[in-house]
């Protein structure tokens, strides 16, 4: 088995939530295909168990392990203690802050966790309405879409057409603020084709990460949110043709296609992807609206 490729949180595709009240799951999660493991002291944990869940994460980090944590939202009874207790550990690689509705939530959290990366999990209509200001808040690392709570708040269905406008807003706000691509909400219980379809929707809206609820989901999400063999084949063919014709811009399509080809191959390298040996099929160039 090839060693697991370490993907930084800026490009992380699969974000695996693990119930922090069940520490026996931590090692399995760390050994999974997840790009990022999120030890969850928020939604997965009942109020009476939150202190123990926080203590479990603190003990895990204190033993020299590294992980991210999903912490309780600003204004809840647990937010300040989550920040103070978990922020003591060097192994805390970042936090996903739940229920973000304004830039103040990020600013107050960043003040308690100096230097710690913060993903804003936006989960309500009010939060989505304030996406632009949230995305531009100093200290914010990335946006996340809290899909389940957003649907409960708005009454929207999970149909991709219904949620198209909302997903688009996350991507536009992220791009405008110079952030990495946003993290989409989970496909609850989905595996196989259903999960691949859900991750395909994530990619179609320019979102580059997805929350996972089971270790078994991570490999599929990673595959769908990575350049495909077809993408890499096209990029290599285009660059070969471009260089063979002098490496100079020939028409208005060359610049965007050159940028896209370099991005595809750069991502493939970061994700540890290679073309299969002997693979020579050519693919047509992606359209100008293609994700990569």
φ and ψ at 141, to 5 degrees? -100, -40
Find the angle CA(196)-CA(292)-CA(223) to the nearest 5 degrees. 30
What pLDDT was estimated at residue 224? 97
How does DSSP assign the chain, residue by residue?
-PPPPP--TTT--EEEEEETT-GGGHHHHHTSS-SEEEEESSTTS-GGGHHHHHHHHHHHHHTT--EEEEEPPTTSTTHHHHHHHHTT-TTEEEEEESS--SHHHHHHHHHHSTT-EEEEEE-SHHHHHTHHHHHTSTTEEEEEE-HHHHHHHH---S-TTTTHHHHHHHHHHHHHHTPPPPEEPP-TT--HHHHHHHHHHHHHTT--EEEESSHHHHHHHHHHTS--HHHHHHHHHHHHHHHHTTSS--STTHHHHHHHHHHHHHHHHHTT--PPTT-----PPPPTT---
What pLDDT was estimated at residue 247? 79
Contact (CB, 8 A) for 56 and 20: yes
Mean predicted lDDT score pLDDT of the chain: 93
For the chain, the domains span 14-224, 227-292
The residue length of the chain stands at 292
- Span 220-244, average pLDDT: 92
- Span 256-283, average pLDDT: 82
What pLDDT was estimated at residue 274? 85
Summarised one tens digit per residue, pLDDT across range 23-63 is: 999 999 999 999 999 999 999 999 999 999 999 999 999 99
- Span 249-262, average pLDDT: 88
Strands 183-184 and 209-212, bridge-based pairing: parallel
More confident residue, 123 or 254: 123
What pLDDT was estimated at residue 290? 44
Strands 92-97 and 14-19, bridge-based pairing: unpaired
- Span 256-265, average pLDDT: 92
What pLDDT was estimated at residue 176? 98
- Please state which CATH number belongs to domain 14-224: 3.20.20.60
What pLDDT was estimated at residue 288? 47
Summarised one tens digit per residue, pLDDT across range 138-190 is: 999 999 999 999 999 999 999 999 999 999 999 999 999 999 999 999 998 88
From residue 173, give the alpha-carbon distance in Å to each of 178, 199, 205, 268: 9, 20, 13, 25
Place 2 in a pLDDT band, splitting at 50, 70 and 90: low
């Amino acid at each position: 088995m090839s060693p697991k490729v370490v993907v930084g949180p800026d490009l992380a595709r699969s974000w695996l939530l693990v119930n922090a009240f069940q520490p026996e799951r931590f090692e399995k999660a760390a050994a999974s295909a997840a790009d990022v493991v999120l030890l969850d002291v928020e939604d997965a944990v009942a109020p009476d168990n939150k202190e123990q869940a926080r203590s479990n994460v603190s003990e895990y980090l204190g033993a020299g392990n590294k992980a991210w944590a999903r912490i309780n939202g600003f204004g809840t009874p647990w937010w300040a203690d989550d920040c103070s207790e978990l922020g003591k550990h060097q192994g805390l690689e970042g936090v996903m802050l739940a229920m973000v509705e304004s830039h103040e939530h990020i600013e107050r959290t960043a003040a308690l966790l100096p230097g710690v990366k913060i993903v804003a999990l936006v989960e309500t209509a009010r939060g989505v309405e304030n996406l632009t200001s949230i995305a531009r808040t100093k200290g914010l690392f990335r946006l996340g879409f809290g899909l389940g709570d957003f649907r409960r708040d708005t009454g929207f269905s999970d149909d991709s057409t219904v949620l198209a406008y909302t997903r688009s807003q996350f991507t536009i706000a992220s791009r405008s603020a110079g952030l990495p691509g946003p993290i989409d909400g989970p496909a609850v219980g989905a595996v196989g084709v259903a999960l691949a379809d859900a991750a395909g929707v994530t990619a179609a809206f320019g979102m580059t990460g997805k929350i996972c609820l089971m270790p078994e989901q991570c490999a599929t999400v990673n595959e769908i949110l990575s350049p495909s063999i077809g993408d890499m084949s096209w990029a290599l063919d285009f660059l070969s043709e471009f260089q063979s014709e002098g490496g100079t811009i020939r028409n208005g399509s060359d610049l965007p296609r050159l940028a896209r080809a370099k991005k595809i191959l750069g991502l493939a390298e970061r994700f540890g992807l290679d073309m299969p040996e002997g693979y020579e099929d050519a693919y047509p160039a992606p359209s100008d609206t293609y994700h990569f």
